[in-house]
Amino acid sequence: MTVDIPRKLVLRRDPVDRTFRGVARGGGIAVLTIMLLVGVFLAFRASQALSSDGVKFLTVQDWDPDSGKFGIAAVLVGTVLIALVAIVIAFPLATGTALYITEYAPRQIRQWLISLVDLMAAIPSVVYGLWGFFFLQGNITPISRWISQNFGWIPIFSVTGVDPNDPLPTSTLYTSSTFIAGIVVAFMITPIITAIMREVFAQAPLGEREGALALGSTQWGMIRSVVLPFGRGGMIGGTMLGLGRALGETIAVYMIISPVFVIQTHILQNGASSVSSLIALRYGEASPFGLSALMAAGLTLFVMTLVINFAASSIVARSRSGASS
Amino acid sequence: MTTILDSRPDGVPAVMSSTPATTKVIIRMNDTDDSVAEAQPLVEVRRQTGGLRMIDLLSGAGAAVASLALTQLLVTQLAPINGPIPFFVIAYLLFVAIYALLVSLDESGPVVRDRIVRVIVHSLAFSLLVTLAFVVIFTFSRGVQALPHLNFFTQDMSLAGPLDPLSDGGVLHAIAGTLIQILIALAITIPLGLTTALFLSEVPGPFARLVRTIVEAMTALPSIVAGLFIYATFILILGLEKSGLAASLAISVMMLPIMIRASDVVLRLVPATLKEASIGLGAGQWRTVWNVILPTSRSGLTTAIILATARGIGETSPVLLTAGFTASLNLDPLHGPMISLPLAVFEFVKSPEPTMIARGFGTATVLMALVLLLFIVARVIGGQTLAVRERRRARLVALRRVFTISWLLRNPLAAKVAVGAAPADTGLDDPAPILEESE
């Protein structure tokens, strides 16, 4: 009686296949090298500035690297505030639009709306900057003034130098503020967030939707009990990706704000700051050491965006709507 | 249906039954129907489950009128608030409140909440779309005074100063610069990006996972930092001048992760059954990639490339640091500064002169038109999946066959000649159903 011995499988690839795998691996290695080069170079140059500055880098507000007095406290707070204003405005807009497209819009215009939102996500940021600088700047002042006069007792809405009894307060107090930059960035990131949310909402299982409706729920009841819980991961993930974009936005912010190097927590007041506009402002006249300091600021921004993006993708991947988005 | 079966005691299936029997059944059915209708005259009115009722329209219109009137009263008499935007905000809030009140008069709590949410969602979507459309229209309307001058597209700014009218100077240098920069960037990123995407999906392993993680991390790289990197290495360390090439490299560093990530997603969407079928037929890995994976995902890959291109074209900040500024046409990417469209917009609107600002808006319009063009091309290509194309081909073949058959019917002589070829033809030319399943 013969015993069947499993045949030994030997994978012998064609020369063509070996070449293909080699070339593909080479491409991967090249990209990895480029990416690591960027990261390592940034880290190396940044470390020169960081080692001389130490912890002060996070606490000092001024930016004067050549005299040794520099830190990102002011610009970092400014960046985060602009991004937060943007998210506070963009989140409800994006959620509403995504729900409208998936749940309420007539079937005939749905595809059209999806294309429109995708197209808006591709509009160059300089166009939003133009709109913010030439239109919004002049027309938002009444709202800024109204908020500051009625909610000025909340610290972030207060504007110093405002006389509540002055019927014609100067409007220059309210221009070039964190608030305006935040609004512009908000409209820039809303299409991106909307696109992600829409995709997740559209995947909400039909059976559960029909189940909710068959149990007698209204459309909003169905959305609240099926669509929103299903899409929660995508909502959070999409918003965080938008936040990442908002943190790194340069040109629209640079066009609007007038840079200050103190921690400016009054979001309605003239004067704001952000890391990326600091780089755009100071790179040209920077000494080699000043450039390392700018790199350190850029690296901080990069690390922040990186943490946010990874958190976002892990939240999206762990949610019920899954990694398909 | 039951009546049909009952009427036939011999158990002959309905399909097989002869014509007289069927007629008889139908007559009997009609008889019974009539008698039922006479016995109990039940008229069913179809219930309307969707659509608008008169009361919805009326409550909406009433709430709108009431809120406008109340706001007018508030703004003019009670609290002097000027400006159209606060007026609109107050009117909107009042509208929602009054509408909820009107609905609550004859509906239950959940329905009222449903209506409020419906109003809010509609207005959120509407305001976003209107604002985004306004951003585009605003740019276009401010730029439209520069666009009719043909010299805007055929001249550069080397001989036109800020005070010159719009009939002098143009943005040819920026258009050419953008095209050159993006072409160089594409020449770098397409081969590298597609190879890497293929590597990630076809040569999996721990190393591929590492590359994927790093690439995903680099999508977070702020574009200005990409520009700063090229500025610090190529311009300050290697001593290159600010040039189109440096700008292309900065754009490439920014575009590469975006393109790899998008292509990777597209390549992973290729059905495993197709790959297995190809390998099962004895094809090697390269054959499978070349003949199955790439053709299947061609439209998706094109879309990924075009969308990454649109991002690359619109980015200002990496170019700002690396391209330099010039007012004249420079076609040499290696030497001398070379401006691009977004950077030209940025430089134009720095000037206080109205003509320069008009030029800036005109340039922004050209840039948007370019992005729109890319986007439409992406849509057209992206909409053409392999299945759609095959179906269209199959339809063409079927159409041709119909024509051929009708022609053969009209020419009996030709039919006799062609009769051998026809069956073989029909057997070969229809791979469409198989591919449609994989869609």
What is the per-residue pLDDT for B80? 64
pLDDT band at B50 (very low <50, low <70, confident <90, very high): low
**Contacts with A90 (C-beta within 8 Å, 6 or more apart), sequence order:** A186, A187, A189, A190, A193, A239, A242, A246
Does residue A33 sit in the same domain as residue A167? no
Cβ–Cβ below 8 Å for B217 and A310: yes
Handedness of CA A11, A12, A17, A19 (dihedral sign): positive
CB B161 within 8 A of CB B376: no
Alpha helix ranges (H) inside chain A: 15-53, 56-59, 73-99, 107-121, 125-131, 137-139, 141-151, 178-202, 206-214, 219-222, 228-248, 251-256, 275-282, 288-318
Does residue B345 sit in the same domain as residue B396? no
Does residue B334 sit in the same domain as residue B380? yes
- Chain A closest CA to B319's CA: distance in Å? 11
Tokens of A156: 């972030």
Whether the predicted pLDDT of B122 surpasses 80: yes
Does residue A40 sit in the same domain as residue A69? no
**Has residue A8 been placed in a domain?**
no
- Chain A closest CA to B119's CA: distance in Å? 10
CA-closest candidate to residue B397, choices B434, B422, B415:
B422
Does residue A70 sit in the same domain as residue A125? yes
What is the per-residue pLDDT for B433? 41
Mean pLDDT within B194-209: 89
Type of residue found at A190: T
Task: Tell me the C-alpha distance between B426 and B404, whole Å.
Answer: 12
CA angle B401, B403, B406 (to 5 degrees): 110
CA-closest candidate to residue B301, choices B255, B338, B265, B249:
B265
What letter does residue B429 receive in the DSSP assignment? S
Burial code (b: 16+ CB inside 10 Å, e: under 16) for A67-99 equals eeebbbbbbbbbbbbbbbbbbebbbebbbbbbb
Does residue B223 sit in the same domain as residue B323? yes
- Chain B closest CA to A2's CA: distance in Å? 30
B207 CB neighbours in chain A (<8 A) are 25, 28
Whether the predicted pLDDT of A96 surpasses 90: yes
Smallest Cβ–Cβ distance between B128 and the set A21, A25, A190 belongs to A190
**Has residue B44 been placed in a domain?**
no
Is pLDDT larger for residue B119 or for residue B437? B119
**Has residue B270 been placed in a domain?**
yes
Task: Tell me the C-alpha distance between B223 and A305, whole Å.
Answer: 12
Smallest Cβ–Cβ distance between B216 and the set A116, A124, A313 belongs to A313
- Chain A closest CA to B273's CA: distance in Å? 19
Mean pLDDT within B226-244: 84
pLDDT band at A100 (very low <50, low <70, confident <90, very high): very high
pLDDT band at B61 (very low <50, low <70, confident <90, very high): confident
- Chain B closest CA to A27's CA: distance in Å? 5
Task: Assess B390–A contact: CB distance below 8 Å, yes or no.
Answer: no
CATH code for the domain in which residue A106 is found: 1.10.3720.10
Smallest Cβ–Cβ distance between A279 and the set B228, B357, B367 belongs to B228
Task: Tell me the C-alpha distance between B77 and B91, whole Å.
Answer: 15
Neighbours of A30 (CB within 10 A): 16
**Has residue A324 been placed in a domain?**
no
Does residue B69 sit in the same domain as residue B130? yes
Smallest Cβ–Cβ distance between A131 and the set B128, B135, B233 belongs to B135
Structural Rg of chain B based on CA atoms: 34
Mean pLDDT within A202-221: 88
Cβ–Cβ below 8 Å for B345 and A126: yes
List the beta bridge partners of residue A63: A70
List the beta bridge partners of residue A317: none
Does residue A49 sit in the same domain as residue A151? no
Burial code (b: 16+ CB inside 10 Å, e: under 16) for A288-300 equals ebbbbbbbbbbbb
Does residue A143 sit in the same domain as residue A188? yes
Cβ–Cβ below 8 Å for A220 and B342: no
Reported ipTM: 0.83
Lowest mean pLDDT among A67-81, B10-24, B26-40, B337-351: B10-24
CB B215 within 8 A of CB B261: yes
Whether the predicted pLDDT of A91 surpasses 90: yes
**Has residue B282 been placed in a domain?**
yes
Does residue A155 sit in the same domain as residue A213? yes
Handedness of CA B186, B191, B194, B199 (dihedral sign): negative
Question: pLDDT averaged over chain A?
Answer: 83
Helix (H) or strand (E) holding A63: strand A63-64
Chain A residue with minimum CA distance to B287:
A17
Of the three residues A53, A79, A101, the one that is the final residue of a domain is A53
Smallest Cβ–Cβ distance between B379 and the set A113, A115, A217 belongs to A115
Is pLDDT larger for residue B233 or for residue B160? B233
Q: What is the pLDDT of residues B10-19, one digit of tens each?
A: 444 444 444 4
Type of residue found at A184: V
Does residue A37 sit in the same domain as residue A141? no
Does residue B347 sit in the same domain as residue B252? yes
What is the per-residue pLDDT for A165? 62
Does residue B276 sit in the same domain as residue B416? no
Neighbours of A47 (CB within 10 A): 14
Q: What is the pLDDT of residues A215-234, one digit of tens each?
A: 988 889 999 998 888 888 88
Type of residue found at A39: G
**Has residue A1 been placed in a domain?**
no
Rounded to a whole number of angstroms, the distance between the first and last alpha carbons of chain B is 38
B82 CB neighbours in chain A (<8 A) are 142
**Has residue B242 been placed in a domain?**
yes
A–B interface: beta-carbon pairs under 8 A: 275
**Has residue A6 been placed in a domain?**
no
Does residue A43 sit in the same domain as residue A133? no
Tokens of B393: 């081909």
A279 CB neighbours in chain B (<8 A) are 224-225, 228, 321
Does residue A195 sit in the same domain as residue A266? yes
Does residue B115 sit in the same domain as residue B250? no
Cβ–Cβ below 8 Å for B124 and A100: yes
What is the per-residue pLDDT for B284? 85
Does residue B220 sit in the same domain as residue B303? yes
Q: Which residues 142-161 of B have a C-beta within 8 angstroms of A?
A: 142
Does residue A44 sit in the same domain as residue A68? no
Distance of CA B377 to the CA centre of its chain: 10
Domain span including residue B197: 172-384
What is the per-residue pLDDT for A99? 92
pLDDT band at B400 (very low <50, low <70, confident <90, very high): confident
Q: What is the pLDDT of residues B79-104, one digit of tens each?
A: 666 667 777 888 888 888 888 888 88
Does residue B302 sit in the same domain as residue B204? yes
Whether the predicted pLDDT of B8 surpasses 80: no
Does residue B369 sit in the same domain as residue B405? no
**Has residue B41 been placed in a domain?**
no
Burial of B125 (0-12, 13-18, 19+ CB in 10 A): buried
Cβ–Cβ below 8 Å for A142 and B361: no
Task: Tell me the C-alpha distance between A217 and B108, whole Å.
Answer: 12
Rounded to a whole number of angstroms, the distance between the first and last alpha carbons of chain A is 57
Cβ–Cβ below 8 Å for B195 and A38: no
DSSP string of B35-51, one letter each residue:
HHHHHS---PPPPP-SS
Count up the domains in chain B and report the number.
4
DSSP string of A32-60, one letter each residue:
HHHHHHHHHHHHHHHHHHHHHHTTHHHH-
**Has residue B148 been placed in a domain?**
no
Is pLDDT larger for residue A139 or for residue B346? B346
CB A257 within 8 A of CB A35: no
**Has residue B236 been placed in a domain?**
yes
3-state secondary structure of B168: coil
Distance set, CA A147 to CA A84, A135, A162, B80, B354 (Å): 17, 19, 12, 14, 32
Lowest mean pLDDT among A45-49, B53-57, B123-127, B433-437: B433-437
Neighbours of A303 (CB within 10 A): 13
Tokens of B271: 């059905």
Count of residues for chain A?
325
B292 CB neighbours in chain A (<8 A) are none
- Chain B closest CA to A126's CA: distance in Å? 6
Domain span including residue A130: 56-318
Type of residue found at B119: V
Q: What is the pLDDT of residues A113-164, one digit of tens each?
A: 888 888 888 888 889 988 988 888 877 777 777 777 777 777 777 777 666 5
CA-closest candidate to residue B200, choices B250, B253, B259, B254:
B259
**Contacts with A180 (C-beta within 8 Å, 6 or more apart), sequence order:** A132, A136, A137, A140, A144, A256
Cβ–Cβ below 8 Å for B86 and A142: yes
pLDDT band at B336 (very low <50, low <70, confident <90, very high): confident
CATH code for the domain in which residue B193 is found: 1.10.3720.10
pLDDT band at A92 (very low <50, low <70, confident <90, very high): very high
pLDDT band at A168 (very low <50, low <70, confident <90, very high): low
What is the per-residue pLDDT for B429? 42
Cβ–Cβ below 8 Å for A93 and B124: yes
What is the per-residue pLDDT for A95? 92
- Chain A closest CA to B408's CA: distance in Å? 43
CB A71 within 8 A of CB A53: yes
Count up the domains in chain A and report the number.
2
Type of residue found at B111: V
Please give the share of chain A, as a percent, with pLDDT higher than 70.
94
Whether the predicted pLDDT of B428 surpasses 50: no
Helix (H) or strand (E) holding B67: helix B54-73
Does residue A116 sit in the same domain as residue A254? yes
Whether the predicted pLDDT of B169 surpasses 60: yes
Does residue A43 sit in the same domain as residue A86? no
